[in-house]
Structure 1
Amino acid sequence: MAAGHTAARMLRSARRRVAAFLHAPSPDKHPAVVAPVSTVDPDLVPLLTELGVCLLDAGQASNEVEDALSVVASAHGDNEVRAFVVPTGVLVQVDDPGGVSTHYASSTGRAFSLDQVGALDQLVRAVVTGAIELAEARRRLARLRTAPPRFGPALGVLGHTLLTVGFGLCLRPSLGAVSGLAILGALTGLARVLVPKTSALATALPVLASFVVAVLSTAVLGPWLGVDPVILITPALVTFLPGAALTTATIELTHNQVVSGASRLVYGLAQLLLLAFGVVAAAVVVATPAPIAPVPFGPWVAYVGVALVSGGFVLYLSAPKGSLPWISLTLYSAFVAQAVGSVVLSPQLSGFLGGLVLIVVSRLIARLPSGPPRLVTALPGFWLLVPGAMGFIGVTEIATTGAQAVSQLIDMVLALFSISLGILTGTGLSNEASSLRHTWQRRTQRP
């Protein structure tokens, strides 16, 4: 009996071993690999690419966009995000435990209105401080990109008219030129409002606008009002002039952003050539009148022009509520500094003081509780310094009067780099002042 029980136990043990062997994994099979868990928030990289594109459309330089994206990524605990920014798009690369992933978004090429720029700056601050979640930030960013301008088409045309008259007054024209500037400013503003920015006609609009403005100025308004056509042509085309693009290009070049700076510089020069082509075509069609030397206004009229330019920017670019006094303060500060620089330094180097004061004042205003963001006040200042206008006036004089205005084109290059140097100096001084202030606050807060 005992031998039978022993045999039964041995048989059961053998069955268990055989069963365990049959159900064991085969030696040639690999164990399941557990995918590493990503440490990057799934909304971070899409937000960075979308945010970078919006910052480009808002008019920021490539180096400033890269710095902003780096701050956002660092604020959310990830230092393995790299961004490469060019004027046409943003490339973001992320190091995940599972490998390297790359994300790209292309720029729309449509410039933001000033109220969109203000809302974008507030959104970036909220993301950096963690006031909103990344998913909510993406939803707000999508709404911001499609938001309509604050003012409608009628006020946009009025704003463009004020801009034209204001910039014309800064050139100290005669009394008769004011009505011509208003007519041309309204016509050009109407064309800018009616032609969709995404249509094929928008590409040819600079040439068509410069041709029509030059024909009207040379054949109709100039002889009728007794004014020099050049005084009428340039202010009417001021919103087509690439002053901001050329200034941003030189800033990028001085920051070693060669690809972005060179491409933006070529774009700005191409815009100047398109405008000049329309003027040359008008000079072929219409006979150039004899030069007119009217009696200009006094120097005081330029300050009236700056006031009109401020109001025109608010209406045409749909500035945020309450920003008119701050935009006026910034423009007047830059304009006065540039006027002082033309006396102390030279007209070609006066942009250094203008650019320096422009950046310092705009940054100080942005620190105030009721002050608008820096870009809202600084972007109009880029147009007021108008380095693009200097080059366009030179090309216009060559086309209409045959004047050898090569020196004016050289002055434009000098003005570009003097403005950029002033902006860089003002930015450096502002950053150093902020660092000293933070250091002082930390020391005073220590027990």
Structure 2
Amino acid sequence: MTGTEPVEEADGHDALVGFLDGLTRLLLGTSGEGAEQVERSVTAAARGLGGTASVAVLPDAATVAVTSHGRSSAIVVRGFPEVFRMDRVVALKPLLDEVTAGRLDVRGASARLATITRAAPPYPWWAKLLGVVLFSVGFAPLMQPTWYEVGSTAVLATLSACLAVAADRLPRLAKVLPLVAAVTVSLLALEVFARSPAHGGPVLLMLPALFFFVPGDYLSAAAAELAAGHLTTGAVRLVYAVALLVQLYVGVILGLVITGRPRQDLFDVAAGADLPRWVLFASWIVFTVGALLAFAVPARLLGMLLVLVYLTVGVQTGFTKLLGDVGGTFTAAVVLGAVTTWLARRPGRPPRLVLVLPGFFTLTVGSLGMRGLTALAGGYAIEGFRDLTELVTLVTAIGVGLLLGAVLAQRPADSV
């Protein structure tokens, strides 16, 4: 043994710990699929680099115990969960594939990871602003298939998009962004657009513009984690999702108070449809393009995401006619989970989280929570409790459906 070997072993262990620290932080920040994916990726990466790792995950933190080169270390990593930089998730998958296969050493892997972490967003700020608007406008016909809904959403969503882009540069605004967005949209909707019952309920006019902030992804990830046995992570994520919904609800109520409108004005009745069928069909293209820009998904994936969105919508629509809302939503979630899992496991394909994201949003589970809360606030107890009950049912259906789809499509040697 030479005198340099202990130093080299120490350096190797420290390099591995540093890489797993950065990897875990990035995974936590994009943990839309839940704790299982973080744990699996970190342990596989450690094994590919000649070490072992044990991971305990919470939604915003993880403890990683690392053993390599005859040494052991434990680190605590923190990262706030969000889904706004999918370009990093796409870039991370080939890196993890190479590391797991043993084709990269720890220094090369660390350099690649640093490049991914420091990379600028793939689109300029104005493209994200446009993306949030298109995302909302494409979703609007699902609330009310009327030209008025589409037009009012374009205006209200532009306001929301400006706030979302500003929050990227103002950390203080980011902490209260759902509340500020809900107050602003509520004020403008009540004062300008919700002046006549003929245009539908005020909340139906507000919801598409606030859809970007509705935590439907957190709700379904929490349901999937609870179903998979990750009780602590699922419970914490569920509480956080509910807190975000309450922020949106309080913002709408504050808008009502400021404008002096009675709470009974928060009725939830849709206006008569006047959109032709081709607009309803084309709205999903607008929606998917908006999602791609808003969540920084690489443009080359647009075609694949469109196919998955129309597949999800088609399955949900067809099976809803046969099995009702819950059965249709559950079946669509199973199909989406199975197809995206099968696609993601193939070499060179994007990760499952990116593939599932736009299709998941078509299931619209998060909007029911705010509709239920605002209906209760307006004194419509039956409608409010009905929406909240449906929310709980559909959250579970989507979360468990995605989990079941992943189980059906996995390789025999894998675990979900």
TM over 0.5: yes
Task: Report the CA distance shift for 1:364/1:301 in structure 2 as closer, same or farther (over 3 A).
Answer: farther
CA distance in 2 between counterparts of 1:152 and 1:401 reads 44
Instruction: Report what 1:425 is aligned to.
Output: 404
CA distance in 1 between counterparts of 2:276 and 2:106 reads 55
Alignment partner for residue 334 of structure 1, among 309, 312, 320? 312
Q: 1:362 and 2:340 equivalent?
A: yes
CA distance in 2 between counterparts of 1:339 and 1:320 reads 28
- The gaps in structure 2 that reach 5 residues or longer are none
Alignment partner for residue 100 of structure 2, among 109, 128, 135? 128
Instruction: Show the 5 A alignment for 1:9-408.
Output: 41-58=13-30, 59-78=32-51, 80-95=52-67, 100-109=72-81, 111-196=83-168, 199-223=171-195, 226-228=198-200, 229-286=202-259, 287-288=261-262, 289=265, 294-296=271-273, 297=275, 301-366=279-344, 371-400=349-378, 402-404=380-382, 405-408=384-387
SS of residue in 2 equivalent to 1:173: coil
Deviation at 1:403, TM superposition (A): 5.0
CA distance in 2 between counterparts of 1:205 and 1:94 reads 37
CA distance in 1 between counterparts of 2:113 and 2:170 reads 20
Task: Report the CA distance shift for 1:99/1:87 in structure 2 as closer, same or farther (over 3 A).
Answer: same
Deviation at 1:162, TM superposition (A): 0.7
Task: Report the CA distance shift for 1:408/1:295 in structure 2 as closer, same or farther (over 3 A).
Answer: same
Q: Which amino acid aligns with 2:65?
A: Q
Deviation at 1:351, TM superposition (A): 2.2
CA distance in 2 between counterparts of 1:396 and 1:201 reads 24
TM-score by length of 1: 0.82
Contact 1:280/1:400 (8 A) holds in 2: no
SS of residue in 1 equivalent to 2:326: coil
Contact 1:172/1:299 (8 A) holds in 2: no
Deviation at 1:209, TM superposition (A): 0.9
SS of residue in 2 equivalent to 1:324: helix
Deviation at 1:42, TM superposition (A): 3.5
Task: Report the CA distance shift for 1:117/1:293 in structure 2 as closer, same or farther (over 3 A).
Answer: closer
TM-score by length of 2: 0.88
SS of residue in 1 equivalent to 2:55: strand
> How many percent identity over aligned positions?
29
Contact 1:90/1:105 (8 A) holds in 2: yes
Deviation at 1:54, TM superposition (A): 1.0
SS of residue in 2 equivalent to 1:223: coil
Task: Report the CA distance shift for 1:195/1:39 in structure 2 as closer, same or farther (over 3 A).
Answer: closer
Instruction: Return the index of the structure with the highest Cα Rg.
Output: 1
CA distance in 2 between counterparts of 1:183 and 1:278 reads 18
Deviation at 1:411, TM superposition (A): 0.6
Task: Report the CA distance shift for 1:371/1:70 in structure 2 as closer, same or farther (over 3 A).
Answer: closer
- The gaps in structure 1 that reach 5 residues or longer are 1-33, 438-447
Q: 1:414 and 2:414 equivalent?
A: no
CA distance in 1 between counterparts of 2:242 and 2:349 reads 34
Deviation at 1:223, TM superposition (A): 2.2
Q: Which amino acid aligns with 1:393?
A: R
Mean Cα deviation higher: 161-170 or 141-150: 141-150
> For each residue in 1:256-289, what CA deviation from the matched residue of structure 2 results, as whole angstroms up to 9, or x when unmatched?
1111111100000000001000111122233155
